[in-house]
Amino acid sequence: MLNTVFYCVVNMSITAAIIGTAVLLVRGILGRRLPKLAVYILWSLVLFRMLIPFSFGAPWSFIKSLSSITGYSVKVVIVQTPVRDLAGLSAMNHIQEASDYYPVEYKSTSISENFKLAAWIWFCGVLACGLLTTALYSFTIHRLKRAVLLKDEEGILKSCKSRLKVKACSQIYTCKMVDSPLVLGIIRPRIIIPEGIDKGSLQYILLHELVHIKRKDNLWRLMATA
């Protein structure tokens, strides 16, 4: 099971790396002429390739076109054949060291042993990263519990929410442990700002953080971390 998962992850990572390189090239060429929405869509393609191992059958594929132009060899593994009007599922196989798939059967014993060792190293790395991320997040949440509620007596937050048409976030906190404003939480987000920020800058800070909430950037960041 671990071998199969690892083999899929390596192939998914190679596909995502190729698409990510293409996205960087597009951003480098177009620069600021590229709309923000387009940037989100382009990077969501990379995220999709890193999270979803399969592709739906399509007459055109970026990877296939690239391989035909550059001579780069890539194999397409059929996972599910098309049924009636439904498109079939396939997976990109960049490594091409398996003789059978789901579960993976490698072409030789030496290749199998090498991939088994790599799979365990990868699994331990994933486990360590997961535990470290969870521990750091828990530590941060614990420290930010000391944040003090800032009363919005002048209604600045309410005005900013109305301007951006944001319903979430009803409270602002100050905390001496943060160096720059941030949004904490996904379901019930809160804005935390450093102590000593003058009220003349508060409106602009809140507008900036509320845009993050409106775009659900914390959710995207969580998915990107995963």
3-state secondary structure of 194: coil
pTM (2 d.p.):
0.63
Query: Using one digit for the tens of pLDDT, what is the confidence trace for 43-94?
Result: 888 888 888 777 665 555 666 666 665 555 566 665 555 545 544 566 667 7
Would you state the torsion angle of the CA atoms of residues 201, 204, 209, 210, taken in this order, to the nearest 10 degrees?
Answer: 130
pLDDT value at residue 123: 94
d(CA 22, CA 175): 41
185-208: pLDDT as tens digits? 888 888 999 888 877 788 899 999
Query: How many CB atoms within 10 Å of residue 125?
Result: 10
Render 80-147 in DSSP notation, one character per residue: E--BTTBPPEEEEESS--EEETTTTEESSHHHHHHHHHHHHHHHHHHHHHHHHHHHHHHHHHHHHTT-
Q: What is the DSSP letter of 186?
A: S
